[in-house]
Amino acid sequence: MDIGVLIQILVWGIYAGCIYILLAIGLNLIFGVMKVVNFAHGELLMLGAYAAFWIYTFSSINPYLIVPLSMLLIAILGIFIERLCFRPIMGTGKLNEIFLSLGLIYLFQNLVAFLWSTNSRYIRSPYGEVVVHIGAIKLPLDYLIIIIVTIVFLIAFQLFMKKTTTGRAMRATSQNREAAALMGINVERMDMLSFALGSALAAAAGSLWLISGQMANPYMGAIPAIKAFAVVIIGGLGSIPGAIIAGMTLGIAENVVPYFMQALVAVFGYEMSFTGWKDTIAFLILIIVLILRPTGIFGERGE
Amino acid sequence: MKLGRLSIKAYLGIVSLILAVLIPLILGISHYLLTVLILMLVFIMYASAWNLLALSGQGSLGHAAFFGIGGYTSAIIANSLGISPFATILAGGFFAAFIGVLIGLTCVRLREWFLAMVTFGFAIIVHTVTTELSWLTGGWDGIPAKKLIPVTIPNYILYEYYLVLLITVIVIAIIYLIMKSKIGLALEAIRENELEAKVMGINVTKYKLMAFAVSAFFTGIAGALEIHHFGYITPEVYGIDISFWPIIYCISGGLLTIEGPILGTILITLLDESLKNFGWTYERYILIGLILILVVRFLPKGFVSIPEKIKSKLRSHS
């Protein structure tokens, strides 16, 4: 086993973890405030990636500058989704919310396929060829940028939730909706804001995913969404620190475990690749956690 | 009044059954038509099985896993042992039920969202496992499956149709009996309030697992029937849309009723097929997605509640 390769794989894991964290935090925020799980969150990631792709195609400015624009567009879309779909059915049963997001998945995937075909789209990042050498370790610059951007987003998000009045109002709403309303907080505006913010984070994940060399297609949202759900479950529904720890763990585990398995099998003289089992590993971790703790590791609030 | 409505329902059921038997005689033996009808029947079974699980308050988003497991099990056994698909379809159902119990064991303690996420993820995992175990499953290319009725027999599609119709009627009857029995009542009690059900002495875990097993069993049978009808199976049976179809059928028809999934499957399939002939591809999925959203939003009890809605509207006007 090569330590240099291992560290490289570790960085890949952190990079994948960043995408999952961005998605999971959005899901957690929406759940905290509205007590709604949006299963179409992966489709917001997909739409964010497409928004970035089209803006880039028509303007060809530095793709990283497009990320905020794509976030804004998808945030507006999120507000519409909240207004037209989730708000009217709030409180009519959890299954209804699940079914409604199912309809949204269907709608968005096929709308995109209809408008822009199912061809894979990609952006050539200006730093695509740049590789940072740290000793013997080679890291693509794009991955480093994404890790840094995610950390910046997380700090900004935390500051917003802790220091600003709006952030405090959102936290109050997620702790106790009725009490918050009685204190004069406009809880419906908080719903709207949380959905917009969650959608924007999903769009950020999608655009960054695309810029770092991943393909965009109408069905790209499903797998990252599943991972984000796993992160949310492992980290505990509604827990932001839980999501960060779980997202990192998952991202690293699903990249490192196949490598270890390959090394293990090599000891016995076999040559096998386990990269196809990545998604299975995420799911196995999820199952084990759920058997041990049905509310997730950091989730203590029984709903 | 109540009795009269019930008998109308039973009457409608008998009429539609007679119609189903007579359709090939009325419209002639068309390969296309019978294929559409066979798939419709398979999906009626599938949707009804999904509905049974929903009755216990467990909304699965990954039932394609059981559909595909039933299909692959049946195809692999039939191919390797060289026996007739009639026996292996049952094996497919039983293996799907076995996996269903395993997944159920992790799911029984979970809340709705977690359960939906776990089942959604499970379908994707089964997809990965199937493509990776290519020595057994043929990987992405899939494997051939024996036809239910040998193609060499003249009008084989007609026999296939009646066979699937017979199995569907049996499956629906069993599901109906379960829903009307004590088990059905227990499942409903669990859905309404799990804690109260527990207090009343209902073994919640046992009934939830039972719902998982029975639902997965019939889903597996439906999956096996479908692939033996097509004559091949590929990992596409695990597609997200295969998981979503029964939900769309049940919701649009009417959740938690026996006639809802049947009505929903027939109406949505007819819509889908006619739009397909229209040359629409993605447009019809967009439309179906929209229908799903609109039904959840404005008609939460599905199409079966339309007569009642009209009735109460008329009553309030007069």
Contacts of B115 in chain A (CB under 8 A): none
Within 8 A by CB and 6+ apart from B247, the residues are: A99, A102, B50, B59, B61
Dihedral, CA atoms, B243, B247, B249, B255, nearest 10 degrees? 160
Q: What is the domain partition of chain A in residue ranges?
A: 3-292
Q: Give the pLDDT score at B1.
A: 40
pTM above 0.90, yes or no: no
Q: What percent of chain B has pLDDT over 90?
A: 47
Half-sphere exposure of A90 (CA within 13 A, CB side): 17
Encode pLDDT of A33-65 as tens digits.
888 888 899 999 999 999 999 999 998 788 889
Contacts of A80 in chain B (CB under 8 A): none
pLDDT band at residue B36 under the 50/70/90 scheme: very high
A127 neighbors A141 (Cβ within 8 angstroms): yes
The answer to whether ipTM exceeds 0.85 is no
| Sign of the alpha-carbon dihedral angle for B50, B56, B62, B66 | negative
DSSP, res B143: E
Mean pLDDT of chain A: 87
Tell me how far apart the alpha carbons of residues A181 and A159 are, in angstroms, rounded to a whole number: 23
pLDDT band at residue A299 under the 50/70/90 scheme: low
Higher-scoring residue by pLDDT: A153, A93: A153
Distance in Å from the first CA to the final CA of chain A: 45
For the cut 70, the answer to whether the pLDDT of residue A111 exceeds it is: yes
What chain B residue is nearest to A94 in terms of C-alpha separation?
B112
Q: Give the pLDDT score at B5.
A: 56
Cβ separation B114–A92 shorter than 8 A:
no
Q: Is B57 helix (H, G, I), strand (E, B) or coil?
A: coil
For the cut 90, the answer to whether the pLDDT of residue B309 exceeds it is: no
Contacts of B204 in chain A (CB under 8 A): none
For the cut 60, the answer to whether the pLDDT of residue A303 exceeds it is: no
Encode pLDDT of A221-276 as tens digits.
888 888 888 888 888 877 788 889 999 999 998 888 888 888 888 888 777 777 77
- CB contacts < 8 A, A to B, total 126
Place of tokens 């913010």: A197
For the cut 90, the answer to whether the pLDDT of residue A141 exceeds it is: no
Q: At what angle do helices A222-235 and A3-34 cross, to 10 degrees?
A: 80
Encode pLDDT of B1-33 as tens digits.
445 556 777 888 888 888 888 888 888 778 888
Tell me how far apart the alpha carbons of residues B118 and B186 are, in angstroms, rounded to a whole number: 24
How many angstroms separate the Cα of B282 from the Cα of each of A93, A99, A117, B279?
Answer: 30, 20, 9, 10
Tell me how far apart the alpha carbons of residues A160 and A197 are, in angstroms, rounded to a whole number: 11
Contacts of B132 in chain A (CB under 8 A): 276-277
pLDDT band at residue A294 under the 50/70/90 scheme: confident
Distance from CA of A125 to the nearest CA of B (A): 30
pLDDT band at residue A302 under the 50/70/90 scheme: very low
DSSP, res B257: S
Q: What's the mean pLDDT in B45-61? A: 92
Q: Give the pLDDT score at A142.
A: 87
Helix residue ranges, H only, B138-203: 156-180, 182-192, 194-199
Q: Give the pLDDT score at A287.
A: 77
Asked if B121 is an interface residue toward chain A (Cβ–Cβ < 8 A), one would say yes
Q: What percent of chain A has pLDDT over 90?
A: 41
Tell me how far apart the alpha carbons of residues B300 and A100 are, in angstroms, rounded to a whole number: 11
Asked if A183 is an interface residue toward chain B (Cβ–Cβ < 8 A), one would say no
Asked if B20 is an interface residue toward chain A (Cβ–Cβ < 8 A), one would say no
Which CATH code fits A3-292? Answer: 1.10.3470
Name the residue among B57, B282, B289 with its Cβ closest to that of A103: B289
Encode pLDDT of B160-187 as tens digits.
999 999 999 999 999 999 999 999 999 9
Encode pLDDT of B73-123 as tens digits.
999 999 999 888 888 999 999 999 999 999 998 888 887 778 888 888 888
Burial category of B113 from C-beta neighbours within 10 Å (exposed 0-12, middle 13-18, buried 19 and up):
buried
Q: What is the domain partition of chain B in residue ranges?
A: 24-239
| Sign of the alpha-carbon dihedral angle for B120, B123, B127, B130 | positive
Strand partners for A138: A133
Q: Give the pLDDT score at B133.
A: 87
For the cut 60, the answer to whether the pLDDT of residue A113 exceeds it is: yes
B118 neighbors A290 (Cβ within 8 angstroms): yes
What count of other Cβ atoms lies within 10 Å of the Cβ of residue B152?
A: 7
What chain B residue is nearest to A88 in terms of C-alpha separation?
B297
Helix residue ranges, H only, A2-140: 3-34, 41-59, 63-81, 87-89, 94-116
